[in-house]
Amino acid sequence: MASESTIACPCCGRESGPPHRNTTFPFCSRGCKLADLGRWLDGAYALDPVSGRLEVVDPDEAEELDPDALH
């Protein structure tokens, strides 16, 4: 029996997959998917339209987010 394909989550590095079972593949969880999307959006919209200040997201800070807290 072939082993199911899994990869390391690009956000936290935990095992993720397989795609047919994990709807958030290649991320291990919805929290990681949202965290990665948030980082991407922060890069695309780096200027805060309210304050006009440049927002910089620290990857180490993002990894401290609890996936369960993002509901």
Question: Cβ closer to Zn ion: 42 or 62?
Answer: 62
Q: CB under 8 Å to 33, separation ≥6 — which residues?
A: 11, 24, 27
Q: What residues from 22 to 41 belong to the interface with Zn ion (CB under 5 A)? A: 28, 32
Complex with Zn ion: residue 26 or 42, whichever CB lies closer: 26
11 binds Zn ion (CB under 5 A): yes
With the C-alpha atoms ordered 49, 54, 58, 64, is the resulting torsion angle positive or negative? negative
- Using CB under 5 A as the criterion, which residues of the chain lie in contact with Zn ion when the complex forms? 9, 11-12, 14, 28, 32
